[in-house]
Amino acid sequence: MSRFWSDHVAGLVPYTPGEQPKVADLLKLNTNENPYGPSPQALKAMKEAADGRLRLYPDPEAAALREAIAAYHGVASAQVFVGNGSDEVLAHVFHGLFLRGGRPLLMPDITYSFYPTYCRLYGIPCETVALRDDFALDPQDYVGGQGRGAAGIIFANPNAPTGMALDLDAVAGICRANPDTVVVVDEAYVDFGAESAVALLPRHDNLLVVHTLSKSRSLAGLRVGYAMGSADLIEGLRRIKDSFNSYPLDMLAQAGALAAIQDKAYFDKTRQAIMRSRDQLAVDLAQMGFDVLPSMANFVFARHRSSDAVKLAAALRERHILVRHFALPRIDQYLRITIGTDADCARLCAALAEILGKAQ
């Protein structure tokens, strides 16, 4: 606590990102990064954009990138908002759409842990709704949200850190049951096999869908995310952005992201490889005594039937393999393991076999 801080700073509980240690031969399966690297077209576009034009400010509206995103998803560019990673987009969503006179924001009890952090930052009451015992989200739990005076509803689909996905009928049902409440679907992991709610946008003006280039486009280091929704919602976000930072995406990020969105062949090849490796890893982990939740993401969430999760994570760390553990109620015996290449998965399985063999 410093005597120089603004009043609310001492009360904040900041989000803790997965660590990024600099160790040789480290296998990082802890932050859902993509093992394949960005599209070569994206790298080329950024190299070509790195010249004397950098003396100028970038396009504050990122018009060319928003056009490309709109064309890819079949929406209008007035329905697209871009930001410095989807975390920044989400921050503006909380600030611009969920700060509604002390009304609570509804979210699952187990979901992306940045949501409660933003609630604390902006002073939004957070009302958690328990997932079912099998970690499935029950859409019925959100049907009365509007009646309960909710400021909004947010969930990740597929959910994090479970990886479990909801089908489009369920998402549509939640939107339909809360027509005057904003429903935000965070689709950070949707490209690994789930259905995108973008298809529902023409029918639901209360729906906002958030995407990132950090996972399926392998550009976590570039920091580009975006939201799609009715022009009204997008205009609200733009007003927040232009009251905060008019230039969230630099010129290189705009050029690289645009090329990445347009390189459909590389995108499809790499996400298919990750989905194949994920399905194989789930089988291999089950054979080693893990219960693995059905994942539609680039990670699996798994619990060993007889070995403690914290001890397993520590033993993997000794072998220079990082996985993510959350010391939270209901999930503290689970490990979230990012899908790497087949060679990465093989190294993980060999390490686990050795650790579990010794434990017996």
Contacting ligand PMP within 5-24 (CB under 6 A): none
The arrangement of strands across the sheet holding 334-338 comes to: 290-292, 299-304, 334-338
* Cβ 191 to ligand PMP shortest distance, Å: 13
The residue within the footprint of ligand PMP, chosen from 35, 85, 108, 163 (CB under 6 A), is 85
- Beta partners for residue 108, in sequence order: 129
3-state SS, residue 203: helix
SS (H, E, C) 30-75: CCCCCCCCCCHHHHHHHHHHCCHHHHCCCCCCCHHHHHHHHHHHCC
3-state SS, residue 359: helix
Binding mask 94-123 for ligand PMP (x = CB under 6 A): ------------------x-----------
Count residues binding ligand PMP (CB under 6 A): 12
- 309 near 333, Cβ under 8 Å? yes
Of 323 and 355, the one with the shorter C-beta distance to ligand PMP is: 323
Write out the two tokens for 161. Answer: 């850190």
137 phi, psi to nearest 5 deg: -85, 130
* Cβ 277 to ligand PMP shortest distance, Å: 19
CB-neighbour burial class of residue 66 (10 A; exposed 0-12, middle 13-18, buried 19+) = buried
Of 183 and 351, the one with the shorter C-beta distance to ligand PMP is: 183
* Cβ 86 to ligand PMP shortest distance, Å: 3
The answer to whether 186 contacts ligand PMP (rule: CB under 6 A) is yes
* Cβ 231 to ligand PMP shortest distance, Å: 23
Stretch that binds ligand PMP, among 51-59, 80-88, 141-149, 278-286 (CB under 6 A): 80-88
- 135 near 110, Cβ under 8 Å? yes
Give the CA radius of gyration of the chain.
21
The answer to whether 248 contacts ligand PMP (rule: CB under 6 A) is no
Contacting ligand PMP within 204-243 (CB under 6 A): 212, 214, 220, 225
* Cβ 187 to ligand PMP shortest distance, Å: 8
Whose CA is closest to 35, among 220, 301, 225?
220
How many degrees, rounded to 5, is the angle at CA 91 between CA 161 and CA 12? 80
Stretch that binds ligand PMP, among 82-90, 99-107, 300-308, 324-332 (CB under 6 A): 82-90
The answer to whether 156 contacts ligand PMP (rule: CB under 6 A) is yes
* Cβ 87 to ligand PMP shortest distance, Å: 3
The answer to whether 188 contacts ligand PMP (rule: CB under 6 A) is yes
Question: Which spans of this chain sit near ligand PMP (rule: CB under 6 A)?
Answer: 85-87, 112, 156, 160, 186, 188, 212, 214, 220, 225
